[in-house]
Structure 1
Amino acid sequence: MPSFLEAPVAGAYHLLTSLVSLLQPFAGAYAAVIAIVMCTLVVRLCLVPLSVRAQRGTKARAELMPQLKQLTDKHRDNPERLQREVAKLQSESGTSLFAGFLPTLAQLPFFWLMYTLFSRAMVAGESNDLISGSLLGSPLGTHWPILTSTPAYAVIALLLCVVAFFSARLQLRQLDPSATTLSRRIAQLLPYGTLLTAAFVPLAAGLYLLTTTTWTLLERTILQR
């Protein structure tokens, strides 16, 4: 890892271990689990303004979709003209078609930190105490078992599927009526990508995914009203 990335990793490690130490007398073996959930909720709370903007972007995309389709059909053979017209349409509407991706992009550094902290035996020049934490008997630093399953992974997988199911239904309701069959299929399957991601990351990162996707589902449900 490049040396300039070691500083944020070390800082996050000391912050998380300090929080775990504070929770230890009350939470015992689940101190690290609660610390991960708490940190995730704090991050998502800080991203609420971006989420509000993202929801507006989602609504804007739905409203602009018929006009975008007209522009695409009209300038199909002139990509440069199409790009200018789309940019003009966005400017006139006062929104960006990519605003809906802002919360996800903003979370990537935190997800990377979570993956790094629970994937290394040594952090900041010392033994990594975080990976000794566990959830239902499974160490937080272990990856998804290939041939066997444990209660922790089964619970995480089941809950991720439940959240993905309701997220897919919510996304389908937000689609424009003129959306293509492919767009609807993507909206239906995309939320299940978290389950696939959880299969390749430490259990701690899977716990983060479950917490943040649950927050996203509840947040979108509220903001949609």
Structure 2
Amino acid sequence: MSVFAQLVERLAELLGPLFQASATAAAIVLFTALVRLAVHPLSRAAARGQKANARLAPQVADLRKKHGKNPDRLQKALLELYAKEKASPLSGCLPSLLQLPAFFLLYHLFSNGTIGGEPNALLGHTLLAAPLGDRWHDVLDNGGVLGDRGLVYLALFALVTLVAVVNYRRTKRQMAAQPAMPDGTTLPGAAAMTKVLPLLSFGTLVTVAVVPLAAALYIVTSTTWSAVERILLYRDMPAAGALANPL
């Protein structure tokens, strides 16, 4: 058995007295929270970086106007500006990237029928009536949308939709507040981005439907954590940070 599978089982054993048959599901939620807690210092650093980027936006727009026809000169000028202000245009990406290995480990664990040549018993563990190895199409084949398994997914979809709406509204506010170019025009492509980017918040619904329920729990927990974290970290800059990966 893999070390990661042993970790999940150990957490489930610790939570068993409280959550009974759903202890493994609770262990996944706890594991996700521990991952998010581990990367929280990076999230705080990313928030500081994104606030710095927002502060530099007018200068960036000015440089794009000044060197728009000379990409090499523009890139050099932007790098010099970010280095001078100790900021980074990619400051919000690192926390999300560091979470991906944990997500893929969980996805892999609950997508395989065997572990080390032995049957994967974790696939039979449940969240209430829904097996953690099932996907949304399995729900449709076993009781339908309003069956016992279907109701579990409906609850997850409702929570993800609520978080997506919060992120959607924050993204809309941020895109509406994008700085104008020095000549009064908007940044190139800003109109299209304003329409498309906010809708990406709802992409999580699709992901939850196609991955195993265990991985869906990771996504739901992580996106909910992200929404709350951004409200706290960007409370003095309400529209910021909405474009970051929701994971």
Alpha-carbon displacement from aligned partner over 1:94-139 (angstroms, at most 9, x marks no partner): 0111011111111100110110111011113322121111123111
Q: Partners in 2 of 1:23 and 1:129 — Cα distance?
A: 17
Amino acid at match of 1:113: L
Residue in 1 that maps onto 2:86? 94
Report if the CA contact (8 A) 2:21-2:128 is conserved. no
Residue in 1 that maps onto 2:49? 57
1:142 match: secondary structure: coil
State the Cα distance separating 1:159 from its structure 2 match.
0.9
Higher helix share: 1
Residue in 1 that maps onto 2:167? 167
Alpha-carbon displacement from aligned partner over 1:129-150 (angstroms, at most 9, x marks no partner): 2111112311111112185431
Residue in 2 that maps onto 1:44? 36
Q: Partners in 2 of 1:53 and 1:181 — Cα distance?
A: 29
Residue ranges of structure 2 left out of the alignment (5+ in a row): 180-186, 236-247
What is the aligned counterpart of 2:222 among 198, 212, 216? 212
Of stretches 196-205 and 27-36 in structure 1, the one that deviates more from structure 2 is 196-205
Amino acid at match of 2:226: T
Amino acid at match of 1:152: V
Residue in 2 that maps onto 1:27? 19
Q: Partners in 1 of 2:137 and 2:228 — Cα distance?
A: 30
% identity of equivalent residues: 41
Residue in 2 that maps onto 1:16? 8
Q: RMSD across aligned C-alpha pairs, in angstroms? A: 1.8
Q: Partners in 2 of 1:125 and 1:13 — Cα distance?
A: 13
Alpha-carbon displacement from aligned partner over 1:159-210 (angstroms, at most 9, x marks no partner): 1011010122223344544262333334411221211211221111111111
Instruction: State yes or no: 1:190 paired with 2:212.
Output: no
Residue in 2 that maps onto 1:202? 212
Q: Partners in 2 of 1:164 and 1:197 — Cα distance?
A: 13
